[in-house]
Amino acid sequence: MARSVFGFLSKGSIPEEISGEHHYFRLPRNSDYRAWYALRSDSRPFLERWEPSWEHDGLTESSFRARVIRSAQEFASGVAVPLFLFTRSDHQLIGGLTIGHIRRGASQSCMIGYWMGERFAGQGHMTAGLTIAIHYIFNQLALHRIEAACIPENDRSIRLLEKAGFQREGYMKEFLKIRGEWRDHVLYALIAGNYNKIGKPDI
């Protein structure tokens, strides 16, 4: 067990892994670089449609090490939980999910973003991962509201959110710059009070 660095968590510790029966999440490590590089580079055309423009050195090992440091800092400060998603059977990296913009006080909310390697897409992996993450957010982080935004043409992401119980709440004009263009996004949210409607995760 790792000692919690979240000052707002009262349980004193969180697991080094956020575990499900067939999948688990954990923070990025320097040793993940080769698997991450292979997955991201192989999936680049698939992912670039939905992501901000990639930096010219974004796939280098030095850039990845900086990402690991930044992830640890965000985690330590309590503003985000940047996670990699693995299959439990072979410990293979297949994607990632970030619990970001964590807001306490009167808000008690966060925003999630996620990505999946192309060869693993459409196989139910992110559905399982998202369910695990939702359970963690509502039960361990004790947040009240989860938000997610996606490009209206991203039918796969919209189906994923709706299957998990998220409801559409609005339309945000030019919300994020994707591939050099300001793109509209659809806002979805899941409230803790509606959590029972999505069922239990595979844990």
pLDDT tens-digit series, residues 101-124 = 999 999 999 999 999 999 999 999
pLDDT tens for each residue of 121-145: 999 999 999 999 999 999 999 999 9
Q: How far is the C-alpha of 193 from the C-alpha of 121, rounded, in Å?
A: 30
Nearest one of 22, 8, 39, 3 to 131, comparing CA atoms: 22
Integer CA distances (angstroms), 24 to 20, 116, 126, 136, 149, in order? 5, 14, 11, 12, 23
Residue 175 falls in which region: left (phi positive, over 0), alpha (psi -120 to 50) or beta: alpha
pLDDT tens for each residue of 14-48: 457 898 999 999 999 999 999 999 999 999 999 99
The pLDDT of residue 4 is 37
Q: How far is the C-alpha of 104 from the C-alpha of 150, rounded, in Å?
A: 24
The pLDDT-based confidence of 61 (bands split at 50, 70, 90) is very high
Q: How far is the C-alpha of 38 from the C-alpha of 159, rounded, in Å?
A: 27
Average pLDDT, the chain: 89
The pLDDT of residue 196 is 60
The pLDDT-based confidence of 179 (bands split at 50, 70, 90) is confident
Residues 6+ apart with CB under 8 A from 70: none
Strands (E), the chain: 2-3, 13-14, 18-19, 23-26, 81-87, 93-103, 109-116, 145-150, 167-178, 181-191
Query: With pLDDT > 70 as the criterion, what percentage of the chain qualifies?
Result: 89
What predicted TM-score, i.e. pTM, was given to this entire model? 0.88
The pLDDT of residue 11 is 34
Q: What is the mean pLDDT of residues 50-56?
A: 89
Q: Which two tokens stand for residue 75?
A: 């985690």
Nearest 5°: the CA angle 68, 70, 74 is 120
What SS3 state is found at 62?
helix
Q: Which two tokens stand for residue 69?
A: 């440091």
- Confirm if 163 and 127 have CB atoms less than 8 A apart: yes
User: How many CB atoms are located within 10 Å of the residue 158 CB?
Assistant: 18
